[in-house]
Amino acid sequence: MNDNKLTPTELKVLAIIPYGAKEPIKTKEIQTRTGLEIRTIRKIISHLITEHNIKIGAIRTGKEQGYFIATNRQELELAIRPLQAQINDMNRRIASLKDNAYF
């Protein structure tokens, strides 16, 4: 990661995200601390992942939901699993729409 390329807003969001999956931070808490809109926070996190290669994961179900920075392979897998499930679901939906096309 090259901190020089991060914007002040990206640095602000990144500084709030905890290392490790034990105590992830919810988007709403990031919003409270930064004053940013939820949609903006999600865009920033996506940018941190895709453009800056920061291993930010999200726990989407259960009691402990929120974002975290993966610190090991197990946490990285925890972050990847729901994304892969979402891709699989979207592919099934696309296939169904294509199969049921009436025109």
Sorted by where each begins, the domain ranges of the chain are 3-99
Half-sphere CA count of 103, side-chain side, radius 13 A: 0
Instruction: Indicate the pLDDT class of residue 50, thresholds 50, 70 and 90.
Output: very high
CB contact at 8 A, 27 and 37: no
Task: Report, as an integer, the average pLDDT of 56-71.
Answer: 90
Q: Could you read off the pLDDT of 91-102 as tens digits, one per residue?
A: 999 998 888 667
Beta strands in the chain (DSSP E): 56-59, 66-69
* Single pTM value for the model: 0.83
Bridge partners, residue 68, by sequence: 57
Residue 25 three-state SS = strand
User: Please, what CATH class does the domain formed by 3-99 belong to?
Assistant: mainly alpha
* Relative orientation angle of helices 38-52 and 27-34, to the nearest 10 degrees: 100
CB contact at 8 A, 95 and 89: no
Q: Could you read off the pLDDT of 3-49 as tens digits, one per residue?
A: 569 999 999 999 999 999 999 999 999 999 999 999 999 999 999 99
Q: What is the pLDDT of residue 38?
A: 96
Residue-level length of the chain: 103
Backbone angles phi, psi at 22, to 5 degrees: -70, -35
Q: What is the pLDDT of residue 1?
A: 53
